[in-house]
Amino acid sequence: MTEVPTVTDPAAPDGDATESEAAVRDRVVRLLERSRTRSIALTDAVDEADLVAQHSPLMSPLVWDLAHIGSQEELWLVRDVGGREPLRPEIDGLYDAFQHSRASRVDLPLLTPPEARAYVAEVRDKALDALGSTPLRGRRLVEHGFAFGMIVQHEQQHDETMLATHQLRAGAPVLHAEPPPPGPGPARLGAREVLVPAGPFVQGTSTEPWALDNERPAHTVDLPAFVIDTYPVTNAEYTAFVEAGGYDDPRWWSARGWAHRVEADLRAPQFWERDASGTWWRRRFGVVEPVPADEPVVHVCFHEAAAYAAWVGKRLPTEAEWEKAARHDPATGRSRRYPWGDEEPGAGHANLGQRHLQPAPLGAYPAGVSALGVHQMLGDVWEWCDSGWEPYPGFEMFPYPEYSQVFFGGDYKVLRGGSFGTDPSAVRATFRNWDHPIRRQIFSGFRCARDASAAEAAESSGVPTGGR
């Protein structure tokens, strides 16, 4: 792969970048309300004992996430953008994610649930006041409402984290949602793979107003031809790997993956269990149900995803391959904001925003297909990519190193596309996520890819195979 940095982003739409200040304010208010409605729903769903409990050493108590949401909003919108006095300076350290590990937060003198609720409401009043009285220009932090967009995304990211805590919590179901739309059924899905021709595409963005520093800048990446799965790997496909003894055969696993498989005693995706008759069941937000065949598999770690891919003779896509399959429009040569185009995600495009509490069956979102014909790139499950967490060429940290810079080069793999638990405001086709390769309490799945054969590469470039 060769990377050629460019200074312009011919791909970028100019719609949002030219949005009026009043329109930006309206949008911020609407999105701040939406994220708060969700935070309240996730924390009101359980009693106070549950809010302060540690449901897993991997997760914070829910009441920590709630007050941390308020703390970040206070730091950025009330103090920095608004220039107001601190509300509760004495609690800053408690809610600094870098000072306390998730496992240790339960032992801190945290705000009680009523105190946390009062705190986030007071912060919100002052943040809205700052929004009304601050010109959204003259300073990069506020251009196009960036700081507000960053805080909207931060709250939604913690809402997804809280949703993952709900999945780890024992007890009766407390969250409810409509089932996702049906798919057309396995027989009508068409080809399992899509051939992506060789050539350059624009990765990342220099113009998307609320894109985070790690998505910038736009740059050209030239990839050889490759083949990528049209859909994510399903439960039925993954079950075949489990049943074939895939977890017992080190041939399919990397050395590190196998060591982890053995040490953690992995035998199937998290939350799965097989009964005496051989039927696989899963626990999903307190509901125990048979594993649905046609849904993307979820709650697998990077090592499991990579082992499955090896078993079928493929590999995981790189991050650049994933983004090209999601964004590149071969007819125009430009990269889209979303797989389907530049239009904001609607209910028919993708399974986003916790409208449903599970991934949707394959083919459930025909309106969300990418220009190259790849389905369900956004929503459903975060997709593991075989790429480490690295900056793009020309990366500039903004506005603080702890968002992404301090994690570059660490023991992480990239995840793309968001899940059913990701809000549309917190994901786009350029959005990059990362986590440790052993994590699977997140809503993580994958699709496979492979190098194009010589014949496929020739076919995709229009050169006749036997011609010269």
Q: Which residues are annotated as a binding site for gamma-L-glutamyl-L-cysteine?
A: 102-105, 435, 439
Gap between the Cα atoms of 391 and 404, Å rounded: 9
Class of residue 132 by CB neighbours under 10 A (exposed 0-12, middle 13-18, buried 19+): exposed
Residue 332: left if φ>0, alpha if ψ -120 to 50, beta else—which one? alpha
3-state secondary structure 368-391: HCCCCCCCCCCECCEEEEEEECCC
Closest to 71 (Cα-Cα) out of 63, 25, 425: 63
Q: Rounded to whole angstroms, what are the CA distances from 388 to 13, 288, 431, 449?
A: 29, 35, 15, 17
Positive or negative, the CA dihedral 276, 263, 246, 312 is: positive
Buried/exposed code over 41-66 (b: 16+ C-beta within 10 A; e: otherwise): ebbebbeeebbbebbeeebbbbbbbb
The number of residues making up the chain comes to 468
Detail the DSSP E strand segments found in 169-284.
193-196, 199-203, 219-223, 226-229, 272-274, 280-284
Angle in degrees, 0-180, between the axes of helices 146-168 and 21-44, rounded to the nearest 10 = 20
Q: Rounded to whole angstroms, what are the CA distances from 226 to 155, 429, 462?
A: 37, 19, 15
Q: Which residues are annotated as a binding site for Fe cation?
A: 68, 154, 158
Write down the residue that tokens 């993307």 correspond to.
296
Q: Which residues are annotated as a binding site?
A: 68, 102-105, 154, 158, 435, 439
